[in-house]
Amino acid sequence: MSRCLTIQRTLVTPPDRAKFAERLQRKREYYARAGCRFWVFEETGLPGAFLEFFEAPDADTLSRAHAAAPERILDPRRIYHEVELP
């Protein structure tokens, strides 16, 4: 099964963490409805530095989800596809 993903880095200041957490919840719900998965990781050594991963089974699904998303991501055309290893 092939997979495609987009990655976005976000920096959040301490006063904005609660609002950011709400935005992440809305994103997760939206992307689930669009047939995608959404993960967020925070850098251990740099609190407030987040990586957001948007994954879909194919590039078309991911592109459509980004195009209709309530929040734009920085570079929706930069899509990575999974490399099958021998």
Q: Tens of pLDDT along the chain (86 residues)?
A: 589 999 999 999 999 999 999 999 999 999 999 999 999 999 999 999 999 999 999 999 999 999 999 988 888 888 999 898 88
Q: Where are the beta strands (DSSP E) in the chain?
A: 4-11, 37-42, 49-56, 80-81
Q: Can you name the residues that pair with 55 across neighbouring β-strands?
A: 5, 37
- The pLDDT of residue 79 is 93
pLDDT of residue 84: 86
